Amino acid sequence: MLVDKIKNIAPEAEIDENGILTVTVEPAKYRELALRLKEERDLSFDFMICMTGMDWGDSLGVINLLQSTVHEHKLFLKTFTTDRENPELPTVSDIWATANLNEREVYDFLGIRFINHPDMRRLFLRNDWIGYPLRKDYDANPEINPVPLESEETLDATSTFEINPKDGEISEKENILFEENEYVVNIGPQHPATHGVLRFRVSLEGEIVKKVDVNCGYIHRGIEKLCESLTYPQTLALTDRLDYLAAHQNRHALCMCIEEALGLEIPERVKYIRTIMDELNRLSSHLLFWSCLCMDMGALTAFFYGFRDREKVLDIMEETTGGRLIQNYNVIGGVMADIHPNLIKRIKEFVKYLPPMIKEYHDVFTGNVIAQQRLKGVGILKKEDAISYGASGPTGRACGWSCDVRKHTPYGAYDKVDFKEILHSEGDSFARYMVRMEEILESLHILEQLVDNIPAGDYAVKTKPLIKLPEGHYFKSVEASRGEFGVYLESRGDKYPYRVKFRSPCLPLVSIVDLITKGGKIADLIAIGGTLDYVVPDIDR
Amino acid sequence: MKYEEFNDNEYLEQLRASGTNVIVGCLDDVINWGRSNSLWPLTFATSCCGIEFMAVGAARYDFSRFGFEVTRASPRQADFIMVAGTIVHKMAPVLKRLYDQMAEPKYVIAVGGCAISGGPFKNSYHVVQGVDSIIPVDVYIPGCPPRPEALLYGMIQLQRKVKVERFLGGKNHKEKENKE
């Protein structure tokens, strides 16, 4: 069994078998255990779903959710340090590549320095930001950090903290990001092709990309900290605004997480309605993906075609939920209101309407020689890199990684419908593009099966206005439009969550930009960004 | 919507009560008619409202009916900036710079709760409580996000504001002098 194997490796580890297995180790044993969890064949935890920095009051630490793509088991790996002045933990960024940006995030929010991490800069906040906002004793006085009127200085160097094995002293070493004579082009934060306010610093050799340095935080809204001062029903509203193109799906994840913690039984009708809404949302998102990718590559007419059809999806959603983009429809225990009488009829019409349009899309764009040449064989991502970086969703499936949460851990009504998980093996931009186009048809197929079978019953179960979750930690994830969206929730039995962390599907996507653009042309950066389809507020949260 | 139905914002017409020279006034009308019907927005969006801004640009709502279709990626060529989405501390200097780079006469529309006051993120440690603390705002469009119709309404309000300006011999749209 899993527990016995872990006891073998680390006999002193504290193991909690309640819910998902939780293993707590001292920092000294953390790296060794992490390495063996990844490397040992019958464990092979190769996918780090999410890393959460925590302030437990008396100690600071991280809690990582690991999964094995081979055996499909999950585990929480937890470590902590009681030193609040100079908290230090060993890095695992060389074991799981996704930990690189995640550890920078933890450093940014909690001030934990990771020893031997190659790039210990802040990820979201400015370099001159005072304090660590996710610490419980953070002083949010606006006079300490006023709205700045000057941009921060862009640094070409970063630091690594190393430990001397002899005396245990920690020393800072400078790491050069860009040399003095390198040709560095700045793209963003205000650039129409970065899909929001993302900033790349690109080092060029002629028109060949040598290195891409991603700068995030231009839309970091501090949602996780805000959630800590909101009651559970209030936190729901903020999830819609993370990845606004997956509003339903995000909210679905948080609702499911809270419902699971409460032990709430959800009526079948609600599961069907939520699944239908999730798929409609996926349709609207993928249609927008197609429109924007084509526009980025210069095909402006495609933008109008895509938006024309997307409006139809929005109409269907609007009738039931009252919102176009942000619907605020899911609530704890159900949905806000029952479905509109027209919904079934409209969906049936739409399911017939869209496939000929998709064919038209393929005729006007996919077959186009320019599109083919700019997408095929460009920005190739390998399957093992996708897993290591945690790039799930259509991006992961385009390189053959079967990572669809709907298939692997079905939620809602996904266990009752028959659908294919779209898998391609090339891993290039074109595969990413085709996965999404085929997923549109698959979503229609799911809708088709669901609309006629919505069971009768309540659309919500009654809940108390003040919800208190039992003590413990919970994790729930859904397949959002761009990948696995997860919610990690830690409760201390209050009406407010102690810590909420959103596992954003877009942060891993942006972390692979450097990997897959390296050696390519600068112009391909735009097409690669378009096919990765990240949403910047979801990266920054 | 008919022009007479814009019942609010009568103060705009009162702005003209200062008395305008007939010839220059007529010339003003012609120039402003042209200016108000070819306002070019800057392609600027930080979050959710930006998607609705794109929807306004697309076929169903189609802001090119009112002359807004030439979205510019460079602030130097834009007439107004739609601040669509939350502005956070790190973005504030960038927004200020974009505004400074635009050529006069220039206008600002604050779209959505976040740009007006911080919206649902008002209590956050990293969100600017309304862009009017950084740059002057001409039109506010409330909503989270505002519907495309609301966006159009707000943009047409901006056109009205442009129409009552005195282009020749003085301006209503004054900026505070920088005292440095």
Q: How many domains does chain B have?
A: 1
Assess whether pLDDT exceeds 80 at residue A30.
Answer: yes
Provide the number of CB pairs (under 8 Å) joining chain A to chain B.
128
> How confident is the model over B80-105, as pLDDT tens digits?
998 888 899 888 998 888 898 888 78
The confidence band for B10, taking pLDDT boundaries of 50, 70 and 90, is low
- For residue A452, tell me if it sits in a domain: yes
- For residue A186, tell me if it sits in a domain: no
- For residue B61, tell me if it sits in a domain: yes
The confidence band for B177, taking pLDDT boundaries of 50, 70 and 90, is low
Quote the pLDDT of residue A22: 86
> How confident is the model over A411-466, as pLDDT tens digits?
888 888 888 888 888 888 899 999 999 999 999 999 988 888 888 888 888 888 78
On whether both A288 and A431 belong to a single domain, the answer is yes
Q: Minimal Cα–Cα distance from A330 to chain B, Å?
A: 17
Distance CA B56, CA B112 (A): 14
Name the residue in chain B with its Cα closest to that of A199: B91
> Are A221 and B124 a contacting pair at CB < 8 A?
yes
Which of B44, B47, B77, B147 is the best residue to mutate to test the A interface, defined by the most A CB atoms within 10 Å of its own CB? Answer: B47
Residue B46: name the closest of A413, A537, A363, A5 by CA: A537
- Residue B30 at interface with chain A, using a CB cutoff of 8 Å: no
At which of A138, A164, A183 does a domain end? A138
Residues with Cβ within 8 Å of residue A303, at least 6 apart in sequence: A291, A292, A294, A295, B58
How do the residues of chain A divide into helix, strand and coil, expressed in percent and rounded to 5? 40, 20, 40
Quote the pLDDT of residue A239: 87
Find the domain containing B66 and state its range.
Answer: 41-163
On whether both A229 and A121 belong to a single domain, the answer is no
On whether both A228 and A85 belong to a single domain, the answer is no
Q: Minimal Cα–Cα distance from A218 to chain B, Å?
A: 5
Name the residue in chain A with its Cα closest to that of B88: A219
Quote the pLDDT of residue A286: 92
Contacting residues of B for A310, CB less than 8 Å apart? 55
- For residue B125, tell me if it sits in a domain: yes
Residues with Cβ within 8 Å of residue A12, at least 6 apart in sequence: A25, A26, A29
- For residue A442, tell me if it sits in a domain: yes
- For residue A198, tell me if it sits in a domain: no
Assess whether pLDDT exceeds 70 at residue B2.
Answer: no
Name the residue in chain B with its Cα closest to that of A537: B47
Quote the pLDDT of residue A31: 85
> How confident is the model over B145-171, as pLDDT tens digits?
899 999 999 998 888 888 877 766 555
- For residue A146, tell me if it sits in a domain: no
H-helix or E-strand containing A313? helix A300-321
Distance CA A24, CA B86 (A): 38
Find the domain containing A330 and state its range.
Answer: 223-534
Quote the pLDDT of residue B14: 61
> Are A196 and B89 a contacting pair at CB < 8 A?
no
Q: Are B47 and A196 in contact (CB under 8 A)?
A: yes
Which of B56, B71, B89 is the best residue to mutate to test the A interface, defined by the most A CB atoms within 10 Å of its own CB? Answer: B89
Dihedral angle sign, alpha carbons of residues A276, A279, A284, A285? positive
Dihedral angle sign, alpha carbons of residues A478, A484, A490, A494? negative
Residues with Cβ within 8 Å of residue A380, at least 6 apart in sequence: A426, A427, A428, A516
Task: Identify which of B133, B145, B148 has the shortest CB distance to residue A147.
Answer: B133
Please identify among residues 110-169 of chain B the ones whose CB lies closer than 8 Å to any CB of chain A.
120-121, 123-128, 133-134, 144-145, 147-148
Distance CA A392, CA A483 (A): 5
The confidence band for B174, taking pLDDT boundaries of 50, 70 and 90, is low
Quote the pLDDT of residue B109: 92
Which of A149, A197, A317 is the best residue to mutate to test the B interface, defined by the most B CB atoms within 10 Å of its own CB? Answer: A197
Quote the pLDDT of residue A353: 92
- Residue B90 at interface with chain A, using a CB cutoff of 8 Å: yes
> How confident is the model over B51-84, as pLDDT tens digits?
888 889 888 898 888 888 888 888 888 889 988 8
H-type helices in A154-243, by residue range?
Answer: 223-227, 232-240
Quote the pLDDT of residue B175: 53
- For residue B84, tell me if it sits in a domain: yes
- For residue B144, tell me if it sits in a domain: yes
Contacting residues of A for B63, CB less than 8 Å apart? none
Contacting residues of B for A218, CB less than 8 Å apart? 46, 88, 90-91, 94
Which of A11-20, A344-353, A386-395 has the lowest average pLDDT? A11-20
- For residue A158, tell me if it sits in a domain: no
> How confident is the model over A251-309, as pLDDT tens digits?
999 999 898 888 888 888 898 999 999 999 999 999 999 998 888 888 888 889 999 99
The region that residue B156 occupies, defined by phi over 0 for left and psi between -120 and 50 for alpha, beta otherwise, is alpha
CB-side neighbour CA atoms (13 Å) of A228: 19
Which of B88, B102, B117 is the best residue to mutate to test the A interface, defined by the most A CB atoms within 10 Å of its own CB? Answer: B88
The confidence band for B15, taking pLDDT boundaries of 50, 70 and 90, is low
Q: How many domains does chain A have?
A: 2
- For residue A206, tell me if it sits in a domain: no
> How confident is the model over A60-119, as pLDDT tens digits?
889 999 888 888 888 888 888 888 888 888 888 888 888 888 999 999 898 888 888 888
CATH number at residue A97: 3.30.460.80
On whether both A231 and A364 belong to a single domain, the answer is yes
> Are A537 and B48 a contacting pair at CB < 8 A?
yes
Task: Identify which of B55, B98, B124 has the shortest CB distance to residue A307.
Answer: B55
Q: Minimal Cα–Cα distance from B111 to chain A, Å?
A: 15
DSSP string, A448-473: HHHHTTPPPS-SB----SS--PPSEE
Tokens describing residue B144 = 């989270």
- For residue A151, tell me if it sits in a domain: no
Assess whether pLDDT exceeds 70 at residue A220.
Answer: yes
Beta bridge partners of A55: A60
Instruction: Please compute the mean of the pLDDT values over residues A46-72 and round it to a whole number.
Output: 88
Q: Minimal Cα–Cα distance from A242 to chain B, Å?
A: 9
Q: Minimal Cα–Cα distance from B170 to chain A, Å?
A: 30
> Are B58 and A147 a contacting pair at CB < 8 A?
no
On whether both A381 and A474 belong to a single domain, the answer is yes
Instruction: Please compute the mean of the pLDDT values over residues A358-381 and round it to a whole number.
Output: 88
- For residue B68, tell me if it sits in a domain: yes
Assess whether pLDDT exceeds 60 at residue A316.
Answer: yes
Which of A191-200, A214-223, A310-319 has the lowest average pLDDT? A191-200
Name the residue in chain B with its Cα closest to that of A143: B125
| Percent of chain A with pLDDT strictly greater than 70 | 100
Distance CA A516, CA A12 (A): 41
> Are B43 and A192 a contacting pair at CB < 8 A?
yes
Distance CA A110, CA A96 (A): 21
Quote the pLDDT of residue B19: 56
Quote the pLDDT of residue A287: 92
On whether both A130 and A241 belong to a single domain, the answer is no
Instruction: Please compute the mean of the pLDDT values over residues A468-476 and round it to a whole number.
Output: 86
Q: Minimal Cα–Cα distance from A213 to chain B, Å?
A: 17
DSSP state of A147: P
Tokens describing residue A523 = 């112009």
Global ipTM: 0.84
On whether both A122 and A232 belong to a single domain, the answer is no
- For residue B96, tell me if it sits in a domain: yes
Quote the pLDDT of residue B7: 61
Which of A5-19, A376-390, A425-439, A472-486 has the lowest average pLDDT? A5-19
- For residue B119, tell me if it sits in a domain: yes
Quote the pLDDT of residue A94: 87
At which of A75, A103, A138 does a domain end? A138
Which of B48, B69, B77 is the best residue to mutate to test the A interface, defined by the most A CB atoms within 10 Å of its own CB? Answer: B48
CATH number at residue B86: 3.40.50.12280
Tokens describing residue B83 = 């601040």
At which of A107, A138, A169 does a domain end? A138
| Percent of chain A with pLDDT strictly greater than 90 | 11
- For residue B27, tell me if it sits in a domain: no
> To which residue do tokens 């899911």 refer?
A330
Q: Are B41 and B71 in contact (CB under 8 A)?
A: yes
Q: Minimal Cα–Cα distance from A145 to chain B, Å?
A: 8
CATH number at residue A514: 1.10.645.10
